[in-house]
Structures are given as C-alpha cells and as structure tokens.
Amino acid sequence: MSRIVYLFQRKPKRTPAEGEEPSADATPQAEGDAPKRIRTKRPRAPRVLRAEGEDPLGEPSKTMLFVANLGFNTDDAALGALFTQAGIDVVSARIVRRRWGQPRKSKGYGFVDVGSEEEQKKAIAALDNKDVGGRNIAVKIAVNTPHEDEGEGADTSAVTPEATIVAS
C-alpha cells in the first residue's frame, strides 16, 4: 500500500464549541487566522477622450519636449544622448515606464527638458520624424495639464508636470 504525502496541508476547520452557534455570514476559520478583508477598488470616471486634431487643455511648456514612438529598450541616457548628438543642450531626459512589473518596462515615450524655447524649436526641427532604431520618433512641445483633485474645493488652476501630454 502506498502512502500519499501532501506538501500543502489545509488547516483543520474550527468547529464551534458547545453552546456556540456557527455564524452564517463568516466562513469557518482555523484558530489564529485573522478574518480576510476584501479589497475593493474605488470606481473611477472614464477619461474623456479628445477629438482627433484637437489641442490638449493646458499650458504649453516653455522648455519641455514630448518624445513618442521610442524603442522599448531606450533608456534615459540614450534619450539624452540622442538630443546631445543633434546639438541640443539637455537639462534632463526621462523615459516613462510601467508602474508595475520587474523590470519596469518602457512605455515607448519620454520627456526631455532642453532649458529654453530656442533649444526647444531647434530640437523639434532637427529630430521630429527622425528614424531612430527603425522607428520614426515624434518630437512635440509638452503640455502641462491642470491637476484634477477628487476632493471638494480643490484648486484646479494648479499645474503638475507629471500629467503632461502632447500638443498637436
């Protein structure tokens, strides 16, 4: 006769003591277990889509550029080097990455701070629609969108650089 050994054994179910009635809404639990809490996400209103060709709401940035259609293996240093090789002074370059997962993979776009409006125009002229790694990148002026707070009485005139989108 063979013997079966389970690697994962269940804890024995707790039976009610004498005189105790089992609760109808709770599942039986082993001693020492904390009741499981169910996590629910708050429903969010869907984002309103812009019509094609419509400019985004917000103030165009004076120094920041949006760079789209980048290769997924492009990192911050490579993005900065791309602009530096074109003769553009780069203050900072950042690739946007997924929040979750290991490693945090690129989303295929990023932002470059060039420091002035003149450098911004020069960069757009030099790099917009340029072939980089087999892809034609798009270089546009970034737009600072108004920050929307969910609380009442929130100041909607505040501008946040994290919520930046592209001007057409």
Query: Nearest to residue 163, comparing CAs of 59, 33, 70, 44?
Result: 59
CATH class of the 62-166 domain in this structure:
alpha beta
Give the pLDDT score at 160. Answer: 44
Q: What is the pLDDT along the chain (168 residues), one digit of tens a residue?
A: 566 655 665 666 666 666 666 555 555 555 556 677 777 888 888 878 878 877 778 888 999 999 999 999 999 999 999 999 999 999 999 999 998 877 888 899 999 999 999 999 999 999 999 999 899 999 999 998 876 654 444 444 444 455 455 554
Q: Which tokens in the block code for residue 128?
A: 């917009």
Q: Is 40 exposed, middle or buried (0-12, 13-18, 19+ CB in 10 A)?
A: exposed
Give the pLDDT score at 152. Answer: 46
Beta bridge partners of 112: 65, 93
* CB distance 105 to 71 below 8 Å: no
Query: In 69-114, which ranges are E strands?
Result: 92-97, 106-113
Give the pLDDT score at 9. Answer: 59
Give the pLDDT score at 165. Answer: 53
> What residue type is assigned to position 62 of the chain?
K
Say whether the peptide bond before residue 103 is cis (omega within 30 degrees of 0). yes
Place of tokens 């969108």: 145
* CB distance 98 to 81 below 8 Å: no
How many C-beta atoms lie closer than 10 Å to residue 142's C-beta?
Answer: 24
